[in-house]
Structure formats: C-alpha cells, structure tokens
Structure 1
Amino acid sequence: MAQATVTTTNLTPSPRAGLETPKRAPKQAQNSPLVSLIAGATAGAVEASITYPFEFIKTRSQLRSNGQSAGKSPLSVLRSTIAQDGLFAIYTGCGSLVAGTALKASVRFFTYDSIKQMLSDDRGKLSPARGILAGMAAGAVESAVAVTPTERIKTALIDDAKGARRFKGTTHAIGLLVREQGIQGIYRGLLSTTIKQSATSAVRMGSYNVLRTEYQERLGAPQAVGTFAIGAVAGTITVYATQPFDTLKTRAQGAQGEGMLVAARSILLDDGFKGFWRGSTMRLGRLVMSGGIVFTIYEQVAAQLRGLKW
C-alpha cells in the first residue's frame, strides 16, 4: 500500500502586499571626547581667522570713543580704521581671539557632545528642549574656561588702539591688566559673558541640532554644502536672539572695564533701547559665515577622526 505524501506549507503569515516596515532614521554617529576636542579646536581656529574683520568692526562700533558712543556705521568704522592705522589694523587682537576661539570651540563641542550622549535616545537623537539645555551648559563651561579672558583681552586691545595705546601687544596687555587690576581684571565681565555665551550656545547649538535632525530624516546625512547652509541659518537665528547680551558684554570688557549695570545704563543713555542691538549687522555677517564654517569643518574633521584607529 502506497504511503500518502503529505506536503507541509509554511504557516507563518506573510506581510500583505504593499505594506512595509517603517524605516527608522539611521543612528547618528557619536564622537569620542578626543574627537570632539580636536575637531572643535580646528574648526574654531579656522573660523576665527577667516571672520575676524567682522568681529573687529562689530566690537569697535559697540565701544565708546572718548567717553561717547561711537555712533558710526560699520563702513565708517572700517574706513576710519584703515585711513588712520592701515589695513592690518582690522586684525588688532586677532591672535588672542584665534587662540581663545580654538580653545572655546573645543570645550564647547566636548561639553555639548558629552551632554548630548547622556540625553539622547537610542538613535542618538536629541529633543529640541534637551538640545537647548546641552547648548546652554556648553556655553557656561566655555565662558568660564576660555571665552571671558580671551574676549576681555581682545576687547581691551581694540578699545586701547583707538585712543591711549597703552598696550604694546597681547602679552603686555595681560601683564598690565593683572598688575593694575589683579587676576579679576582678566575676568572682567564674567557674568555678562557667561549669560551671553550660555544664551548664544543654547540658541546656536539647539537650532543647529533641530535643523540637522530634520534635514537628516528627510534628505539623509548632510554633506558639506548642506552642513554649511544649516550652520548659516543657525547663526542668523542666534544673532537677533542674543545681540543685547553681546553688546552688554563688550561694554563691560572695554579697556577700563565697566560693571554690568553701569554698562547697561551707558548703552541706554547713549542710544536708547535700540543700542543693545548695535553691531548686529557685522555680527550677523560673522555668525552666518562662522556658523557655516565651524559646523562644516567640525563635521568633516570629526568624520575623518572617527575613521582612524586610535
């Protein structure tokens, strides 16, 4: 008697036609502390070197001249500076800012990436609120470690160059300020700088995080051009949201130095409420370029470093 052949079939239900498992956004790459430090320092140094003339003109326009508000347009400041002291005068204080920017950018990205990894979900994604929180913390740390002393020296050099010319250079300025005012003279404007830096970093890093996440989910990981555009938009948002903090910080860090309340009062007396936005045009020019440059270089250098075997 012949045996009956039984054909077994796969009883596992197959997905219905036309239905696919939703794709999850790729997990965002995480940077090690060393990668964050090196990539941040490189990005900061390059960005500061390229955009320094914008910073010089912005700072000069915010400072008083012989006790009075300068009241000059950015082009007037540029023309008068070149006419009086030559083209290279617009790089007065540049060395201090480049060194300081390299340090502060490395500290900023190290702090931001460290906090980001603690607050991110399993795909490395950071919510807008947590992105702002991480940026605020990064700004506070970089202010205390690097920004306040380097910005103080840069601002004092620019302020001194238009009048008394007591300072012969960065080293001489540091020594003279310490002798006359003590170590606190180098940290003049710490409170206003920390407020400004925390707000700036929170807006800048927070908006960049949101824009980059949206871009990556819709179009994939951004290349250099996309990163530059995202960084430029983040820079634009940052300028108008935080300019009053920057103007207040500059007044507090002039050659003589002013308390924060005195600086705020002098701005109001000189130019009224709109005076808090003095220098925003040149800062916009710098931060649009700065945002594009620093994030592009940071992402490119970090990507190269992640591919190395340490």
Structure 2
Amino acid sequence: MAEDEIEYEGLSSDAGLAVNMAAGALAGITEHAVMFPVDSIKTRMQVFATNQAAVYSGVGNAFARISSTEGMRALWRGVNSVILGAGPAHAVHFGTYEAVKELTGGNRGGNQFMSTSIAGAAATIASDALMNPFDVVKQRMQLHDSEFRSVFKCASTVYKNEGLAAFYISYPTTLTMTVPFTAAQFSVYEYVKRLLNPTNSYSPVTHMVAGGIAGGVAAGLTTPLDVAKTLLQTKGTSTEKDILSARGMIDALRIIYARDGFKGFWRGLTPRVLTFMPSNALCWLSYEFFKAAIRE
C-alpha cells in the first residue's frame, strides 16, 4: 500500500472515541443542512392544518407553493436550530455507537446483528435526549405562517407559554421511533456494507449505497411514529382542543386515526424517505471520510 493511501481497514475498531465523535458531529451537520428543505416539506405535510393554504397534495405541490408564496428562504427556516443541535447530538450518537459496538463484539468478523442493533439503540437514546429540544424548535419554525425567525426567540416563547415539558413531551415517542429506526439503519448499513465491500477497504460508493438503502428502509418503517411525534411537537400552535390536550404517543396515535384513518399514519412518507435516503447516504459518506481524514 502506498504511503499516502488511507489505512482504512479496521478503523471502526480502533479509531478512538474522540475521532468517532468528531466525525459524527461533522457528518450530522452536513446531513441535516443539505436535506433541510425536504424535511421542512415533510413537517408541513404531517401537520393537521385547518388553513387550506397549509395543506399540500404532494412534495412537488408543496415545494412550488411554498417557494412561490413565501420564498425559498421559508424552506430553510429553522435550520440554525438543527445545526446547533446536530453537531453535539451526532457526536454523542456515533461515539456511543462505536463504543458499544466494540464492547459487545460488533467489530469481530461476520455480520454481528445483535451487537449493531444494541449499539444503535444505545446511541439514539443518548443523542435524542440532547437533540429533542432543538427538534421542537425546528418544527415550530418550519410551520406555515410561523411567527418565529430566531431560534432563541422560539425557544424562549415555547418555554414561557408551555414550560420545559414542551421540549420533551415527544421524547418517549421519539425514542419509540428512533430506537427501531437506528437499530434497523445500522443493521442494514453494516450488512450491505459487508456484502458490497467484504474486504472492508475504503469505498465511498459502498458507504453511500449502504447508507442510502439503510436510511430509506428505516425511514419507511417508522413513519407512523414520526407523524405522532410531529403532532406532539407542534401541538402548542394548534387551536383544536383534542390536539392541545394530547399528553403523549397514545393520544397522538388515537387522534391521527380518528381524523385520517390508517392512511393518516403515512402522512409525509414520500418526503421522509426522500430526506433520509440521500441524507443518510451523505451522513455515512461524511462520517467514514471524516473518520479516516481525522485519523490520517
């Protein structure tokens, strides 16, 4: 191997916690910032809006109407909250993932499904505790006719009107969603990566393909819980009694079914998958690249 070639093989097992956390932080910021406009459309499509101006028939319809009536900048409203939270949250996420995977034997040869699932679940429990308040602020800012243009103003107003609980009312639902999401994502990623790249050599194409497939599968499977999470995180902006009185995931799921039947659980499926496939591909590509680059 040439001296200037990256010594990639085995990085996952010995890169070190600081390297994994730094790479995870950079990957998280990159992922969320690039795909933020599609995420904004997903949020709007999931909300039960009474104003017909905020009801969209699809991703293309939403993009055209938002950009023409509110301007392209509206699709980026709330991105500062994601950037502030995504770096630390993804640092914790990937640091925890690599540490737990090593501890449970996930770096041994073969497909270690149990290890990667446990590591993925542990990672998301830790990172979501940090990210949840930032996600609440982000979604409040993404809504149609949102009054907020500042992360600090949004956070302080939510705290003043609804208390600290508003930032964590969706946390149990978030965990219920993201634990299986992350377990599925990491398991599929590791499986596809090993399938396409059995030598574990540095392969950006492999990381992109494996990451994209993993993100799409995990996003599709967990969409119903994401709809419930959005309802809980934005309920303070609603004027409808049943939504305002929702106390948790069960209430949210009941409201969704009562209003829209089973199809209500799949609101925003297309933009969610469209967000996670490329963003997850970019996230894993960035993570593996930054990890290798920082090591080098």
Give TM class, smaller chain: 0.7 to 0.9
Report if the CA contact (8 A) 1:139-1:194 is conserved.
yes
Residue 48 of structure 1 pairs with residue 32 of structure 2: yes
Alignment counterpart, residue 244 of structure 1, candidates 196, 221, 224: 224
- What is aligned with 1:179? 160
In 2, the alpha carbon distance for the partners of 1:128 and 1:230 equals: 15
2:6 aligned residue? none
Deviation at 1:190, TM superposition (A): 1.2
Shift of 1:98: 2.3
User: For 1:111-260, what aligned pairs fall within 5 Å after superposition?
Assistant: 111-120=96-105, 123=108, 127-146=112-131, 148-159=132-143, 162-163=144-145, 165-217=146-198, 220-256=200-236, 258-259=246-247, 260=249
Q: Which residue of 2 aligns with 1:303?
A: 292
Partner of residue 38, structure 1: 22
1:287 shift after superposition = 0.9
Cα deviation for residue 125 of structure 1 reads: 5.7
Structure 1 residues 86 and 71: CA distance shift in structure 2, 3 A: closer
RMSD: 2.1
Q: Does the 8 Å contact 1:119/1:130 carry over to 2?
A: yes
**C-alpha distance in 1, partners of 2:11/2:155?**
43
Distance 1:227 1:168, change over 3 A: closer
Counterparts in 2 of 1:103 and 1:122: CA distance versus 1, 3 Å: closer
Distance 1:129 1:180 in 2: 43
Classify the secondary structure of the residue corresponding to 1:72: coil
Which of 267, 277, 280 lines up with 1:278 in the alignment? 267
- 8 Å contact from structure 1 (residues 120, 126) kept in 2: no
- Runs ≥4 in structure 1, deviation > 6 angstroms? none
* Amino acid in structure 1 at the alignment position of 2:212: A
| Greater relative contact order, per chain length (Cα 8 Å cut-off, separation 6+) | 2
Shift of 1:272: 1.1
Matched residue, 1:62: 46
Indicate if the aligned counterparts of 2:12 and 2:98 stay in contact, CA closer than 8 A: no
After TM superposition, give the deviation of residue 58 of structure 1 in Å. Answer: 0.6
Q: Distance in 1 between matches of 2:100 and 2:166?
A: 31
Q: Which structure is higher in helix share? A: 2
Matches of 2:167 and 2:200, distance apart in 1: 45
Structure 2 gap segments, 5+ residues each: 1-8, 237-243
Does structure 1 conserve the Cα–Cα contact (< 8 Å) formed by 2:116 and 2:183?
A: yes
Given residue 83 of structure 1, which amino acid in structure 2 is its aligned partner? S
When structure 1 is superposed on structure 2, of 91-100 and 27-36 the one drifting more is 27-36
Q: CA deviation at 1:121?
A: 5.9
Q: Secondary structure at the match of 2:234?
A: coil
Match of 1:262 in 2: 251
Greater Cα shift, 117-126 or 205-214: 117-126
**Contact 1:81–1:89 under 8 Å retained in 2:** yes
Displacement of 1:110: 0.6
Is the 1:81–1:90 contact (alpha carbons within 8 Å) kept by the matching residues of 2?
Answer: yes
Task: Note if 1:104 corresponds to 2:89.
Answer: yes
Deviation at 1:240, TM superposition (A): 1.6
Moved more, 26-35 or 274-283: 26-35
8 Å CA contact 2:106–2:115 kept in 1: the answer is: no
**Cα deviation per residue 1:48-101 (whole Å; 9 max; x = unaligned)?**
111111100011100121388936322222222122211111111111122222
| Contact 2:24-2:287 at 8 Å conserved across structures | yes
- Give 1:216 shift: 3.1
Alignment deviations for residues 204-225 of structure 1 (CA, whole Å, 9 cap, x no partner): 11211222223332x5424111
Shift, 1:28, TM fit: 5.7
Q: 1:121 to 1:241 in 2, by over 3 A?
A: closer
Pick closer, same or farther for the CA change 1:115–1:220 going to 2, 3 Å: closer
Identical counterparts, % of pairs: 25
The answer on whether the counterparts of 1:155 and 1:255 sit within 8 Å (CA) in structure 2 is no
Distance 2:180 2:108 in 1: 27
CA distance, structure 2, for counterparts of residue 249 and residue 122 of structure 1: 33
